[in-house]
Structure 1
Amino acid sequence: HEEWTQQLHQCFVDAVSLLGGADKATPKSVGRIMGIPRIPLHHLKSHLQNYRLAKNRDYKSNDKMEENVIPGIGEKEIQPQRHKTMLQLQMEVQKKLQEQIEVQGHLQLRIEAQGKYLQSVLKQAQEILASYSEIKATKFQLSFYGAMSVPKQSLNADCSSDSCLTSIDCCSNWSVES
């Protein structure tokens, strides 16, 4: 049985921090990130529990962690695997960032298109309101001038205003003086 060495523990701590801390890390995810297949899951689970307890009680992480043992794991196996795992994680993060940048670019294009569409709708609404206002003003002017041009009383009680202008028989009692 080999103990959790400082180097192995540091690999564990790095994996936990990459996962967002001890509260978010799970034994399986820590094992995947550490990339050391010979560490049994129950050892990772126990180590993670102790690490959480040490974090919660503000103990130094080295005091409690060196009590656990792992059978058959040597220092020489940890370092190359750790570098490989960290490189894989970095590549995954870069890939996700690239995907996120692409998504943001597509969203930006959609936002700009939506903005142009809304501007055209607003312009059309303004044009409709402007034409409606012009029609309303024209109707008002027509009704105003129309009311002014129609006489309130007929000149001759027997004739309407229309017939006086068009029929001489109706208005025969009128005389033109020279």
Structure 2
Amino acid sequence: MSRTGPRRSESIRVAVLNAADDLLVEQGFAATTIEGIATRAGVAKQTIYRWWKSKVEILLDALEDDALEGLAWAEPAGTPVEDLVTHLHRVADFFQEPAGQVLQALLGNAQLDQDAAVALREGFLRGQRERDLVGLGAIVERHTGKAPDREHLGRLADLLLGPIYYRVLVFGAPADKELGEAAAHLVLRSTD
């Protein structure tokens, strides 16, 4: 059972999430409406309201699905620094994809809508933070030979990911590969 109604059809769910992603990229957050999403997905507006309360909920659902793959930490394939650089490149690339644009729009909207801010922080951002701490923790442990303290690991995650978010969200510019490489080297050097 869903949060607000009967069991969802997976094909309709995917159609709605894809429609929301597409419309947001094409016309921006403000112009994306439930009516537009319903039309693009080929479903009734009532179907959407049965499963989601707002476009923010739809976009959060889409972001969760997309980020599980797009921001996933890969299995070890090289040295700790190589794996960390590879992950940071994935994060930078994610922001250039439709899913990254959804995240940017939701973060922007969260500055104006307290309920949306809480939903974003308590849902997606909290879950992604946990995934980031686990992924980074595994790399740091491979690099140093010991498990890092969780509080210290949180600071390392901030130092590592903060520059990418800053470049994208404050300046609206893509995070270049050199930024990721510099951040990875600095963070791992600080654990020596």
- Sort the TM-score into its range (normalised by shorter chain): under 0.3
Select the structure of larger CA radius of gyration.
1
Structure with more of its chain in helix, by fraction: 2
Q: Give TM-score, length-normalised by structure 2.
A: 0.25
Q: Give TM-score, length-normalised by structure 1.
A: 0.27
